[in-house]
Structure 1
């Protein structure tokens, strides 16, 4: 039999003052250290009551602002006993966060991570279509959706390497959401694809509220979508990297419009910049010319790019150990916390744009993109306190 909840202390009493003091202390526990609050909730029913209170959890998220990074996902190729390669998505924790239930699935390829959700492509070997799986790594909720009937041939041809390239994004579907805690809310899946042999790029969006895909829209654009390219979202606009890195595709979900933004070229000596994410409300692009990281920011308006808004060069030699200064590439960006992921010969490092500090987050290089998982852990404090 469970114990009854403790009686409410009288306002102004020593017990009430102590509870208020503990609330202030709990508010200041770093958001990327959720296990500390899980353990605190297991100390006594009073602390569990404080941490499980809806008002407190809202205050905690508002106090810390952007959701913390709990880890990141990436895809690796592995080989079975018949020497056949298959994709495995892997989750790497960067905080005191337990391993999620839906990682390391064979043939599950992580595509995108945003607003507390992860989008996987889970192709079927026996059907002429593919499935998507959307996972909430905190609640372990999963949703399976079929691709648009008009798109089913994309995945079939893609397996046969016939030149159809595509990418997809997941995002919160709630109107006017602050994205501090999107768990349990509606979501959208934006799909963009094209054929290298054609000059048209297509797009469609799935809504978890209607359980339907929208009508297909298109734009005349010969640049194929980069399948492993980074994706970023500004409001209801989703941006995809093209194969030719001087272009990106903008998918305006609200207006159901598809357009192409051609990036300005100012320095022929610099290699092509890659879309990384959003920082300070602007699209962020980056590239490495040893031993420097070059960053470009751009405001994407209705008339396309009007020029770079900001330039920044980061010297990497003072930030990384000597061994990490070789075979470097930009593989990801954690929005909100402003952390750039660099894959190096010495493993994966993050560099915080605000502080300039670097941190080793993985011991091995990663070939491909890194997808940070950003979320508050507040919903699980009370639930997990009994199992920690």
Structure 2
């Protein structure tokens, strides 16, 4: 009887071409950074691809908008708006050490503008760990120095601008002023000012194209700071409007979201032709007799943060989708932190 032939060796699956692997890895969603880091542990070729500067640049360019990694918030507590704004992570990003932070002012283009104990501003990049200390003013904003001329995909370590504004009460009424710091020149610009009937409040600033919009008298009036011409102007709204925030429309123009004072204290927000009643959107948690207020927004999107008696909510102005993200009450201001969390940016900053 003839001997049985030796068993055939199982065929190994052919390896994917490196170009195909790269195309697959490029499509890992950025909204959960842990997935990208786990992929580096699969094998050395994947780690080499994921660590290459060219891949990381393509990755950010493909996904464009940085994901929301979490948000800072300041609470109102017996008239004293929060002394230590914590950071709430919405992803698996490691905990940020906010000890010693007195107040969170602004966040844009990967940088957070915070106030330190004893006064002074700190421009902080939580991903890289870089910090720059400046003097402090009333209302502040931070942004990339290239403004509208940058795609903001790799400008974490680049030059930045800090805009500071304040209101003085003089014999002729309120005078609002502004100045701008450049990290390139390490100097503040000359003060510019404008006479207004109201003072600045601490509501979130909004960057639309090359102009910064700040709130006066709880959003009843907007102050526009033209970052190119270094000019101030005032945009008034209806006397019934309060709590207005500037919104960027699809065509890049200026829109509005606001609360109608004539609506018996019930929150009503409007953008273009879209009108939403918050007491119907928050039917499960809401109570029409409790106050609703907008306390922040995700810049570059149609999402706003709403503080209500039942907690903190996000509202998409287009889809009308509401999501509860916080249990606390009395949010004074919410500052979302958006950034790509990739290996090249995280060196020296957050742990991987």
Band of TM-score, shorter chain: 0.7 to 0.9
Counterparts of 1:1-388 in structure 2, within 5 Å, are: 15=15, 17=17, 19-76=18-75, 87-101=83-97, 103-106=98-101, 108-122=102-116, 124=118, 130-147=119-136, 166-174=138-146, 176-197=149-170, 198-226=173-201, 228-243=202-217, 245-263=219-237, 265=238, 271-280=241-250, 281=252, 282-287=254-259, 293-296=268-271, 310-316=272-278, 319-320=281-282, 322-325=284-287, 326-380=290-344
Aligned 8 A contact 1:71 1:93 in 2: yes
Moved more, 212-221 or 193-202: 193-202
- Change beyond 3 A, Cα 1:277–1:134: farther
User: 1:9 aligns to what?
Assistant: none
Counterpart-to-counterpart distance in 2, 1:139 and 1:242: 34
Q: Which runs of 5+ in 2 are unaligned?
A: 1-12
Instruction: Quote how far apart the aligned CAs of 1:341 are.
Output: 1.1
Counterpart-to-counterpart distance in 1, 2:178 and 2:327: 37
SS at match of 2:83: strand
Counterpart-to-counterpart distance in 2, 1:188 and 1:387: 27
Structure 1, residues 125-147: CA drift from partner, whole Å, max 9, x if none?
Answer: xxxxx411011011111111135
Counterpart-to-counterpart distance in 2, 1:315 and 1:222: 31
Structure 1, residues 357-388: CA drift from partner, whole Å, max 9, x if none?
Answer: 3222212224211111111112458859x965
User: 1:152 aligns to what?
Assistant: none
How many aligned residue pairs are there?
Answer: 328
Aligned 8 A contact 1:34 1:97 in 2: yes
Instruction: Quote how far apart the aligned CAs of 1:275 are.
Output: 1.3
Counterpart-to-counterpart distance in 2, 1:123 and 1:255: 34
Counterpart-to-counterpart distance in 2, 1:378 and 1:212: 32
- Change beyond 3 A, Cα 1:218–1:316: closer
Moved more, 65-74 or 92-101: 92-101
Instruction: Quote how far apart the aligned CAs of 1:117 are.
Output: 0.6
Counterpart-to-counterpart distance in 2, 1:279 and 1:71: 24
* TM-score in terms of structure 1 length: 0.76
Aligned 8 A contact 2:312 2:331 in 1: no
User: 2:3 aligns to what?
Assistant: none
Counterpart-to-counterpart distance in 2, 1:291 and 1:199: 31
Counterpart-to-counterpart distance in 2, 1:95 and 1:366: 24
Aligned 8 A contact 2:107 2:335 in 1: yes
Cα RMSD after superposing both structures: 2.9
State which structure, 1 or 2, has the greater radius of gyration over its C-alpha atoms: 2
SS at match of 1:26: helix
Instruction: Quote how far apart the aligned CAs of 1:52 are.
Output: 1.6
* TM-score in terms of structure 2 length: 0.83
Aligned 8 A contact 2:241 2:258 in 1: no
Counterpart-to-counterpart distance in 1, 2:283 and 2:40: 39
Q: Which runs of 5+ in 1 are unaligned?
A: 1-12, 125-129, 148-154, 156-165, 297-309
